Structure 1
Amino acid sequence: MLEVTRHDSDLFDDELREVRAETRRFVEERIAPFHEEWERDGQVPRSIWIEAGKLGMLCPTVPEEYGGLGVDFRYSVIVMEELSLAHTTGPGFVIHSEMVAPYLVRFGTEEQKRTWLPRMATGEVIGAVAMSEPSAGSDLRGIKTKATRTDDGYVISGQKVFISNGQLADIMVVAAKMEDTGKLSLFLVEADRPGFARGRALDKLGVHAQDTSELFFDQVHIPRGNLLGEEGKGSSYLSAGLARERLTIAISSQARAEAAFRDTVAYVAQRQAFGQHLNEMQNTRFTLAAVRADLEAGRALIDRQIRNYLSGELDGTTAAMAKLWVTEMQGRTVDTCLQLHGGWGYMREYAVARAFIDSRVDRITGGTSEIMKEIISRGIWDTRR
């Protein structure tokens, strides 16, 4: 069985390799064996969040004074990779730790940070980002959810869709337009607010253990202290978070592609056809050689972007490049690996079949491949001016 190999010893040192081993044990013992059950249920139990919190898997980059470990992004990378290498898609740890928590750390008030971050780090509170709407996905200008200013706060009205962690979330970062100015603002909305309702858990093609929902806000009143950052700055806040979000998608996609390749190498070594093992046939060997080259290119790209993020040099254009290339490569890889499994590859009892289904969303979520190309093309012309 092939494992993720890191050629850059400076990126993941001995301490981080120990963290990886501990994380891998937890995933293998407490997540992977139950994942099929969670896929049938459509969500994971809250108890697994508490267990992950005790291990330090949740919100590791949150400063220590707010309950996190105060470590750098490499610890988050380990969690994302180990979940993906085990073909698990269920626990929405990445949305919670790498999307919700950073908004609070960067733009939250001291009171907001102390109220929510410690409980997010322990898994007691689960977070979600409520941005997408039926008529607004990648284009934030299409958002119709409204925020009306009142004497003591705001009233939120609207509908969200495709919200990961939607069925479990206790706190949501909600994007809404100010009714008077039309400018986008971000708000913290608690799930127990009157007027808030969860819709159905959406029936998705894949990623079945990850709860994804419709959310409804019917005149939900929130206090002024629930404004995240400043009024009208929502678009810039969301843009600031998208580079990290897209990098996390690329990191997970790379690891899932590596897992599919690992499993396929093992499969073709034991499967026979026409009196030969599949790995003795030239077509198999050449096909997997091309996949291996793709994976090496993806690994180099990902590690470079991790370094850029750690040094504060990751920008929206290069993050879009990473997401575009790696998620498209992942699609090619899982398709090729399924084909090499033959008829068994079409059976959901094989991990490659589930990987084929689950990976498809990565070319959509966080901005479609087409949107990534638009962002990259703008960078080309901006550079030439």
Structure 2
Amino acid sequence: MTFELSREHEEFRRTVRDFAASTIAPHVAQWDRDHHFPTDVVQQMGELGLFGLTAPEEFGGAGIDAADGPFTSLCIAIEEIGRVDQSMGITLEAGVSLGINPILTFGTDAQRKEWLPDLVAGRRLAGFGLTEPGAGSDAGATRTKAELVDGEWVINGGKQFITNSGSAITSVVTVTARTGTSEAGKPEISAIIVPSGTPGFEAGPSYDKLGWHISDTHPLTLTDVRVPEQNLLGERGRGYAQFLSTLDDGRVAIGALAVGLIQACVDLCVQYSLDRQTMGGPIGRKQGVAFQIADLEVMLHASRLLTYRAAAMKDAMLAGGGPSMKEFKQAASIAKLYTSESAVTATRIATQVFGGYGFMEEYPVARFYRDAKILEIGEGTSEVQRMLIARGLGLPVE
């Protein structure tokens, strides 16, 4: 059995690749040094339609029929942008998976009409505030609280590591908060839409991160933030479950981001090993170098197949058939775990192939090396993925 992308998908890949090469690649090194978030380029990505690949036409989206693979198209776009720069790739990934999709999936008609047109067009960005200082992988430990008072949610708390949350074009952040206690005595977690500029809602200074220097990431504080009761996203008490569902898609998208990084490592290493001369010839003729690059190629093919298999499963589900949710969740975790860990290994190998030059910031492999590690952490750590995979096998792991 073979797995191949359609002709339309391959044509779309070339379009995104050309855009990334002409619009992002020439500037990315400087943006990385300056920790600059290029809102104009993000909006150009919107004009190209990249933020609307999974959205219906009524909100300005591409309106791609489920049978034609809208989620696969998104993964292709993330891979090709991530092949040039991971920060810009995560901006797209988070903008769709964590910004648009929760509102599209769980929002009311009024919420969709209010927020989606600008988000889908890339004119504005949205974030999702889940992580807190004491609630990361244990998202059920959320301490942010929201109380319903006179028809308004009054929210107090804080979030951290939130992507696309404080840029000049951020319009809204959906936050999880404790809105009560369930009959079983457990915290009731709900999701609430908080517009940027709401009094008491503040984004702190951008983090000084190891990698992803170009992406927009902030801590958030909410002090007596008041929003209308109708800003509740989905059912009250279902916010945690909604976000877990959102993460399943995001894990596959992170896999696509990792695939782009591994592809970049292969491309860079092949070219460098042909250009770099030592001991009378290119270093690529040495087995010690050539075999390492061969290993990269194997990781690339395995990572791409796992990612696009999971993406195809998602598209099949959108079309009303295909695998069960359990099967998709398992495939998503497998793809995320393997690709993210392979990406970290790939950047280490690439840096080794480049030798001393690989340690210099003027070479892209140094930037990719810094960017790779977070792939094993964001949208579910490697440990969480192993736990989920084990549970999918029927093991009672805690």
**TM-score range relative to shorter protein:** over 0.9
User: Structure 2 residue aligned with 1:73, among 71, 74, 78?
Assistant: 71
Of 42-51 and 191-200, more deviation after overlay is shown by 42-51
Question: Separation in 1 of the partners of 2:86 and 2:309?
Answer: 25
How many Å separate the matches in 1 of 2:373 and 2:111?
36
Residue aligned with 1:205, SS: coil
- Please say if residues 28 and 86 of structure 1, whose CA atoms lie closer than 8 Å, have aligned partners that are also in contact: yes
DSSP-derived class of the 2:205 partner:
strand
Q: How does 1:153-192 map to 2 (within 5 A)?
A: 153-168=152-167, 169-181=170-182, 182-192=187-197
> Of residues 282, 290, 296 in structure 2, which corresponds to 1:285?
290
What are the residue-to-residue correspondences of 1:1-385 with 2, within 5 Å?
8-9=3-4, 11-13=5-7, 15-71=8-64, 72-90=70-88, 92-168=91-167, 169-181=170-182, 182-312=187-317, 313=323, 315-381=328-394
Amino acid at match of 1:119: D
Identity %: 31
Opposite residue 264 of structure 1, the aligned amino acid is C
Change in Cα spacing, 1:45 to 1:334, as seen in structure 2 (3 Å) is: closer
Runs of 4+ in 1 over 6 A off after TM superposition: none
Contact 1:148 1:180 in 2 (8 A): no
Query: What is the identity, as a one-letter code, of the residue corresponding to 2:166?
Result: Q
My pick for the range that moved more, 177-186 or 209-218, is 177-186
Letter of the 1:322 partner, please give it.
A
Residue by residue over 1:22-57, the C-alpha shift from the partner in whole angstroms, topping out at 9 and shown as x without a partner, is: 222222222222223322443423222322222111
Deviations 1:265-310 (A, max 9, x none): 1101111222231111121122222222222222221222122111
Deviation per CA, 1:327-347: give whole Å up to 9, x if none: 111111111111010100001
Q: Which residue of 2 aligns with 1:4?
A: none
Conserved in 1, the CA contact under 8 Å of 2:28 and 2:85? no
Q: CA RMSD, aligned part only?
A: 1.8
Q: How far does the alpha carbon of each residue in 1:309-356 deviate from its partner, in whole angstroms, 9 at most, with x for none?
A: 111235322211111111111111111111010100001111111111
What's the counterpart of residue 67 of structure 2? none
Q: Distance in 1 between matches of 2:197 and 2:156?
A: 15
Q: How far apart, in 2, do the equivalents of 1:359 and 1:242 lie? A: 19
Residue 102 of structure 1, CA deviation = 1.1
Give the alignment's TM-score, normalised by structure 1. Answer: 0.93
Alpha-carbon contact 1:163-1:213 (below 8 Å) kept: yes
Tell me how far apart the structure 1 counterparts of residues 50 and 303 of structure 2 sit (CA, whole Å): 25
- Whether the 8 Å CA contact 1:131–1:175 is kept in 2: the answer is yes
Amino acid at match of 1:150: V
Q: Distance in 2 between matches of 1:37 and 1:343?
A: 21
Q: Distance in 2 between matches of 1:300 and 1:50?
A: 30
Scaled by the length of structure 2, the TM-score of the pair is 0.90
Q: In structure 1, how many angstroms separate the alpha carbons of the residues matched to 2:239 and 2:124?
A: 23
Worse-matched range after superposition: 146-155 or 46-55: 46-55
TM-fit CA distance, 1:88: 4.2
Question: Partner of 2:320 in structure 1?
Answer: none
| Distance (Å, rounded) in 1 between the aligned partners of 2:181 and 2:333 | 33
Shift of 1:236: 1.3
**Paired amino acid for 2:304:** R
Report which stretch shifted further, 219-228 or 87-96. 87-96
Amino acid in the other structure paired with 2:25: A
Any stretches of 5+ residues in structure 2 without a counterpart? 65-69, 318-322
Aligned pair count reads 376
